[in-house]
Amino acid sequence: MALEFRPLHGAFAAEVIGASADLRVDDAALRDIEAAWFRYGVLVFRDLDMTPAEHVAFTRRLGPLHIMVPSEFNLPDFPEVWVVGNAEENGKPLGLRGAGMGFHTDGEDKIVPNAGSFLYAKIVPPEGGDTLFADMRAAYAALPDDVKRKIAGHRARFSRADMHAINYPDMRPYTPEELAARPDVYHPLVRRHDKSGGVSLYIGRWACDIEGMPKDEGRALVAWLQEFARQNRFVYRHRWRDGDAVLWDNRCTQHCATPFDEARCTRLMHRTTLEGEVPIMA
């Protein structure tokens, strides 16, 4: 059966129809999936039944895999699979709680951010726990011309040291050694996709201020850009079902987890992550 791609939010996000439950696809189908991924930014797969080995194998066909650190929530036999959610076993957390709150792109606070992420729903709550995805290409295109001129050629400062306690209040503080391994980085505010050539706004929750601007002015502009990109017109809301998986492109999208009743409900998700490239200034 040939694959079909059903748009979900205009030209942003699409559902993949016709893929096998284990995502063992031939080379032609994989090329179609990759082309659709670059086109839509977000691909939704339904009713999957993947083992960790199959999850890793499919993602690896899209590029080299990244292993998350700290590694305490990686699967022991498959360290490429990172576990998130509030599920526990014998009183021990299986994954990182509170992951993904606040709009961001994965790895934006690293010298080489992640190219993509593939999140697979093992257990989802009956309500809540949705994920919001923002189309950063559309956000850039909609910016007022004077703002486009103001940010052209500029880079934002992304800081784990400044933002870790704010973005992960329930996570243990980073050690001095861990922070030394995650120094502040600077990425272009207007980024060109290294595969598709598309242009997008590149700004997320790890951004603090803007290189070459007074601190207060840079912080204010970062906050304005972050808020602008979160408008409903740019956002696709994914309401998870067991067996869903979402593949998103970190080079041109942002995402944000939403809360659910953790006292009553369980959420367990597996994620693989693709290595990326140094962002290109558009």
Question: Where do the domains of the chain lie?
Answer: 1-276
**Residue 229 CB contacts under 8 Å (≥ 6 apart), including other chains:** 103, 134, 136, 139, 201, 203, 254
CB atoms inside a 10 Å sphere around CB 226: 19
- This prediction's pTM: 0.95
For 80-116, write each residue's pLDDT tens digit: 999 999 999 999 999 999 889 999 999 999 999 999 9
- Are residues 196 and 221 in contact, defined by beta-carbon separation less than 8 angstroms? no
- Note whether 265 and 149 are within 8 A (CB): no
Count of C-beta atoms within a 10 Å radius of residue 217: 12
pLDDT in tens, 23-79: 999 999 999 999 999 999 999 999 999 999 999 999 999 999 999 988 999 999 999
Structure-token match 């599920």, residue found = 87
In whole angstroms, give the CA distance from residue 220 to residue 209.
8
> What is the spatial distance between Cα 15 and Cα 7, in angstroms, rounded to a whole number?
6
Cis peptide before 188 (omega within 30 of 0): no
Q: What is the Cα gyration radius of the chain?
A: 18
Q: How far is it, in rounded angstroms, from Cα 206 to Cα 19?
A: 35
Nearest to 119 by CA among 264, 277, 255, 265: 255
- Which CATH number applies to 1-276? 3.60.130.10
